[in-house]
Amino acid sequence: MSRTLLGLLILALAAAPLSGSAAEPYEISVILPVTGPGAFVAHVEINSLTVIEQMTNKAGGIRGRPIRFVVQDDQSNPAVSVQLLNGIIAKKAPFVLGSTLAATCNATAALLKDGPVQYCFSPGVHPAAGSYQYSAGVDTGALLAAATRYLRERKLTKVAVITSTDATGQDADRFIDAIFGSAENRAMTLVAREHFNTADINVAAQLARIKAAGADVLIAWTTGASFGTILRGVRDTAIDIPVVSTPGNMLASQLRQYTNIMPKELFFPNMASFLTPDQLPNGPLKNKVAGFYDAFKAAGLRPPSGEGQVWDQILITLSALQKFGFDATPAQIHSYIDNLHGWFGINGSYDFRKFPQRGVGIDVVIVQQWDPAKEAGIPVSRPGGAEVK
């Protein structure tokens, strides 16, 4: 099940010599849902891995040695993910990248007591502070809090929520009550609360109740094909209200399939890396995002869609490897990330002392409205969710 990225690309690598010959690439283990329900996300994550591998090796690799990301497919299955991680642990790897889904990362967390470091690509997991597991991006609570502030300032106060019964939906449910029960959101009302199974082929009954409740906005928290199920139901039930969803669905390749069922207003709370350089003010963030886009163009790939979710996380891990070398221990990688602050990436400045296991919080979340014509998000809020007026 092992796949090597860039298998079709032969690069001229400026690698340091070893006994008169080029150094063998240092292999970095990656677990991703290449098949199964999470495959649509894994596709864009592989794009990031591909571009970073090429970019790093063109610049001379790590300490003069090229790298190679080796992807193993967990089939979107937690049991398979555990099996693959056990194999990586047996090889005494200092760190592993992935997997992608909250369910697979939750399943592997118990294996990491003494390492290796695992940089999970899902924002839907909540690693214990100080643990060897890290989570990409801001957590679901910060995403929902920023989105709710935007809705509140737009006077969209009658909120309906539909969540899937999987780990993604359960994660959202854990935050919903606290967010809508807070003093700042006392004008907001949850008029309907519905659930569905990701295997369901329709959600007509749930959406009929939402329509009857008179909601003026719908939060639909699920990822992948099940999000399409909700959008089809919204169209078929003739619900004409704004829809808010997880940034896991903000992928051009996915949303392109939903053109005929797209609501008039579709919003995603997301990070700055999902914006184009021209949408950002001059400064270090814009420069980082511009470099991100340039790297994709140099690799011959179209401008990124959801690749920014994992870009910084991959580079943070490589920076630890650069510091400690190829004999790095899990404890060294762990300590390096835990104490990292002032590291600037495409999502802003990271501070793991302030935001353990993530490095960033609600202050990097910008609500974006999906523009089908441009296949891009248009910022409609300031960082933190305040409406742009």
Residue 141 near residue 175 (C-beta atoms within 8 A): yes
Q: Give the per-residue pLDDT at 314.
A: 98
Q: What is the CATH number of domain 141-271+365-379?
A: 3.40.50.2300
CATH 3.40.50.2300 domain span(s) along the chain:
2-139+285-364, 141-271+365-379
Predicted confidence (pLDDT) per residue in 156-195, tens digit: 999 999 999 998 999 999 999 999 999 999 999 999 999 9
What six digits make up the tokens of 388? Answer: 């742009």
Q: What is the CATH number of domain 2-139+285-364?
A: 3.40.50.2300
Concatenate the DSSP letters of all residues of 311-333 into one string.
Answer: HHHHHHHHHHHHHH-TT--HHHH
Residue 308 near residue 291 (C-beta atoms within 8 A): no
Q: Give the per-residue pLDDT at 389.
A: 85
Q: Work out the burial of residue 134: count CB atoms within 10 Å of its CB; fewer than 13 is exposed, 13-18 middle, 19 or more buried.
A: buried
**Mean pLDDT score of the chain:** 92
Residue 34 and residue 15: Cα distance in Å, rounded? 30
Q: What is the largest CA-CA distance in the chain?
A: 75
Residue with tokens 């369901």: 200
What six digits make up the tokens of 35? Answer: 């098949």
Q: Give the per-residue pLDDT at 22.
A: 65
Residue 245 preceded by cis peptide, ω within 30: no
Predicted confidence (pLDDT) per residue in 29-84, tens digit: 999 999 998 898 999 999 999 999 999 999 999 999 999 999 999 999 999 999 99
Q: Give the per-residue pLDDT at 333.
A: 98
